[in-house]
Amino acid sequence: MDNDQFDATLLRSALERAALHGWRRTTVVDAARDVGLSLDTARKRFACKTMLLMTLGRLADEAALVEDGSEGSVREKLFDMLMRRLDVFQQYREGVRAVLRAVPLNPPLAIVLGGATVESMKWIADAAGMDTTGLAGAMRLQALLGVWTLTLRTWDKDDSQDMGLTMAALDQALDRAARFTGLGPATPQSTTAGTAHDADTDPMVDLPLEPFA
C-alpha cells in the first residue's frame, strides 16, 4: 500500500467513524485499527486528526482544479470547480456533516479550517481567472467565500442524489456575487433555483467561513 492509498483508507475510516460517533470522539488510533492499518505509519503521517481534514481539503482542491480544457466565463468556471469540490465531500457525506456539527464547538479547529478555506478559495478564484488583487479583488474573494458558505449550508441539508438543491443554491449565490462584485456575467436563474436556500437573504460579505480547504 503506497502513501496515497494509506491516506485515503485512513481518511475514509475516520469519517465513517465520525458519522457514527461524532468527530470529537474520533481518533486516528481508532480509525487506523478499524481498517487494520499500522499505528506507527498513521502516527508518522497524521500527528493529529485535523491533518485528516486537511487531506480531505487537498483532495477536494485537486478535483476542483483539474484542467479539462473546457471554455467558459469566470462564473461558469467557478460553478464547475465548486461543484467538483462538493462532489468529493459527497463521497464522505455523513462524516463531513459530523465535522460540520463539531466545528462551532471547537474554536481552534474552526480557525485552522477557516484559514485553509481562504487559501482554497484563492486557488479556485485564480484558476477561474478572477482578479483578486487590490481592494476590489479582496472583496471578490470575500464574496466567493460567501458563495462557498451558502452552498455548503445547502449541501448539508440536501439529501437528493443529484444535489439539485445544492446546484441551485450555488447558481443563486454566484448570480448575487456577480451583481455586487463582478465575478463574471450572470446567467439566468435555473428553474429549480426557487426551491434552494434563498441566497438573497444573507449579506454576501458578512458570512462566516465554513471549513475545509
Give the pLDDT score at 211. 59
Which amino acid does the sequence have at 192? T
Give the pLDDT score at 183. 72
Give the pLDDT score at 78. 96
Nearest to 120 by CA among 186, 56, 51, 48: 56
List the CATH code of the domain at 49-181.
Answer: 1.10.357
Give the pLDDT score at 199. 37
Q: Taking the chain (213 residues) in consecutive chunks of 10 residues, what is each chunk's mean pLDDT?
A: 95 98 97 97 96 97 89 92 97 97 96 96 95 90 95 96 95 91 50 38 43 56
State the Cα–Cα distance between residues 29 and 99, nearest whole angstrom.
18
The string over 45-60, giving b where at least 16 C-beta atoms fall within 10 Å of a residue's C-beta and e elsewhere, is: bbeebbebbbbbbbbb
CA 39 to chain centre: 28
Contact (Cβ atoms closer than 8 angstroms) between residue 69 and residue 80:
no
Which amino acid does the sequence have at 18? A
Give the pLDDT score at 179. 87
Contact (Cβ atoms closer than 8 angstroms) between residue 90 and residue 166:
no
